[in-house]
């Protein structure tokens, strides 16, 4: 049977002209449409243009603009200068809006917004090129507290704390494009480091902050195994320089908690140690020194223990303690002597006076003598030496010594009055 095609002529009358749409059983037959095709406005639930399979999907309009909907919850909205996509699940929703020409400034605007079900909290990304707000802004609002982060040509600003990863040595949490191993990171509990390079670098510097630690805080610099540091202790800040061997160390310590407060300078080579102490109770021109050391002696030969400057019209007095011992393969002799002393420089002539001192000796066999002698070591200097004799055919002859003294000046008659 010959197929029959039903053609329906649809006449749309307007005041100016008529439009004919041929419709066949397969649908619209085609043809030019010269006048507007007017559909009902519709709604989100019943779009003006819809589909048989999904009658709630389609295009509809209201006074705000034109909408493409996949349901009553999701839609794309096109208005004058504004395109918007809206998505909703239950009572939660989100929007993406693009405004090509902001009415008051003519600049484009982009926003991305998400709301909770009660619209009491939201998060938004807002970007624009208009002068007043040029850049991008991230906002978060829980209905009570809001947080704002801005990115613009002047930099980045925050209204709330910025939470960073801990980072690690060689890969700090805050770094730089040209040097990714230079920056700021967290090392352990309560410890913050700002460093110029990883531990593998032979030359680097770092700032360490560790709340509650009176010794670890400070500024450090290292060249290989050599190190210099400024430690910011609460009561005892210090400056330390350590040699590569780890034994030679020089330090200055401010002991604020001492009674009285003191400045202590110490130098050591790992065996001998010299200490200079100053406090306000010593008066002007005076400083207290403390020095310890171990010296290998040669029998009947004066061995210099310590040298110190003593300029014209100054004096030094104090206490020296000597622990001198000698041994052979079977016996041991130990002698301890403590002397009070005064050394002075009378217009270029140096001299010292020593008390007899208290002494104690222990010997398994034989005896030992220890004689302290002051010698002029050079212009305006004095050497304190030790001359020792031991009755043993010794394999060891040494002295552990300790000196505590005060350096000052000889006051003139005018000062005494």
Q: Residue 392, class by beta-carbon neighbours within 10 Å (0-12 exposed, 13-18 middle, 19+ buried)? A: buried
Average pLDDT for consecutive 10-residue bins of the chain (417 residues)? 38 46 57 72 86 86 77 57 65 73 63 75 80 78 81 78 86 89 82 77 72 70 77 73 78 72 79 70 56 87 84 84 91 90 86 83 86 80 88 90 70 37
Strands (E), 71-199: 75-79, 82-89, 92-99, 109-115, 122-128, 135-141, 146-152, 155-158, 167-168, 171-172, 183-186, 192-195
Residue with the two structure tokens 């909770």: 116
Structural domain 279-416, CATH architecture = Sandwich (2.60)
* Tokens read off for 416: 């005494």
* Contact yes or no for 275/287 (Cβ under 8 A): no
| 37-57: b (≥16 Cβ within 10 Å) or e | eeeeebebeebbebeeeeeee
Q: What integer pLDDT is reported at residue 127 of this predicted model?
A: 82
Residue with the two structure tokens 């020593």: 354
Angle ∠(224,239,198) on CA atoms, nearest 5: 30
Residue 5: alpha-carbon gap to chain centroid? 84
Residues 6 or more apart in contact with residue 16 via CB below 8 angstroms: none
Can you tell me the distance from the alpha carbon of 278 to that of 257, in angstroms, rounded to the nearest whole number?
Answer: 14
* Tokens read off for 331: 């016996």
Q: Which helix (H) or strand (E) holds 414?
A: helix 413-416
- Give the residue among 12, 35, 31 at the shortest CA–CA distance from 22: 31
* Tokens read off for 35: 């006048």
Q: What integer pLDDT is reported at residue 18 of this predicted model?
A: 54
* Tokens read off for 252: 């200055």
Q: Residue 368, class by beta-carbon neighbours within 10 Å (0-12 exposed, 13-18 middle, 19+ buried)? A: buried
Q: What integer pLDDT is reported at residue 405 of this predicted model?
A: 74
What are 64's strand-pairing partners?
none
Can you tell me the distance from the alpha carbon of 350 to that of 119, in angstroms, rounded to the nearest whole number?
Answer: 92
| 335-347: b (≥16 Cβ within 10 Å) or e | bbbebebebbbee
Residue 132 DSSP SS3: helix
* Tokens read off for 126: 């807002």
- Give the residue among 146, 143, 173 at the shortest CA–CA distance from 159: 146
Q: What integer pLDDT is reported at residue 326 of this predicted model?
A: 92
Residues 6 or more apart in contact with residue 37 via CB below 8 angstroms: none
Q: Which helix (H) or strand (E) holds 100?
A: none
- Give the pTM: 0.43
Q: What integer pLDDT is reported at residue 333 of this predicted model?
A: 92
Q: How many CB atoms lie within 10 A of CB 272?
A: 15
User: What Å distances lie between residue 88 and 85, 95, 97, 114, 231, CA to CA?
Assistant: 10, 9, 15, 10, 58
* Contact yes or no for 227/221 (Cβ under 8 A): yes
Q: What is the DSSP letter of 42?
A: B
Q: Where are the domains of the chain?
A: 1-38, 279-416
Q: What integer pLDDT is reported at residue 324 of this predicted model?
A: 93
* Tokens read off for 165: 């990863």
* Contact yes or no for 323/294 (Cβ under 8 A): no
């Amino acid at each position: 049977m010959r197929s029959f095609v039903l053609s329906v002529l649809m006449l749309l009358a307007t005041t100016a002209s008529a439009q004919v749409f041929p419709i066949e059983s397969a649908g619209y037959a085609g043809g030019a449409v010269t006048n507007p095709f007017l559909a009902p406005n519709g709604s989100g639930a019943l779009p003006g243009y819809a589909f048989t399979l999904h009658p709630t999907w389609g295009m509809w309009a209201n006074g705000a603009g034109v909408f493409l909907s996949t349901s009553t919850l999701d839609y794309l909205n096109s208005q004058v200068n504004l395109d918007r996509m809206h998505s909703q699940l239950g009572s939660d929703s989100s929007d993406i809006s693009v405004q090509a020409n902001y009415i008051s400034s003519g600049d484009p605007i982009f926003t991305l917004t998400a709301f909770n079900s009660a619209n009491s909290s939201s998060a938004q990304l807002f970007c624009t090129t208009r002068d007043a707000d040029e850049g991008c802004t991230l906002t978060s609002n829980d209905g009570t507290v809001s947080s704002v982060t801005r990115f613009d040509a002047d930099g980045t600003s925050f209204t709330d704390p910025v939470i960073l990863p801990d980072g690690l040595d060689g890969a700090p949490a805050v770094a730089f494009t040209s040097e990714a191993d230079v920056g700021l990171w967290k090392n352990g509990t309560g410890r913050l480091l700002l460093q110029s390079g990883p531990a593998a670098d032979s030359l680097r510097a770092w700032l360490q902050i560790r709340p509650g630690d009176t010794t670890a805080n400070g500024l450090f610099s290292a060249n290989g195994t050599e190190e210099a540091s400024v430690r910011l202790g609460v009561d005892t800040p210090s400056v330390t320089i350590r040699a590569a061997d780890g034994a030679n160390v020089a330090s200055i310590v401010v002991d604020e908690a001492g009674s009285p407060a003191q400045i202590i300078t110490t130098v050591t080579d790992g065996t001998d140690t010299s200490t200079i102490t100053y406090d306000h109770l010593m008066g002007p021109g005076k400083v207290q020194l403390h020095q310890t050391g171990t010296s290998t002696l040669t029998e009947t030969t004066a061995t210099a223990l310590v040298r110190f400057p003593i300029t014209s019209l100054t004096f030094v007095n104090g206490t020296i303690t000597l622990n001198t011992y000698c041994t052979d393969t079977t016996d041991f002799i130990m002698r301890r002597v403590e002397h009070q002393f005064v050394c002075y420089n009378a217009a270029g002539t140096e001299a010292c006076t020593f008390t007899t001192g208290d002494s104690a000796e222990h010997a398994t066999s034989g005896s030992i003598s220890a004689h302290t002698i002051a010698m002029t070591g050079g212009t305006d200097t004095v050497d304190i030496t030790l001359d020792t004799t031991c009755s043993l055919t010794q394999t060891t002859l040494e002295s552990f010594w300790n000196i505590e003294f005060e350096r000052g000046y000889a006051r003139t008659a005018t000062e005494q009055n």
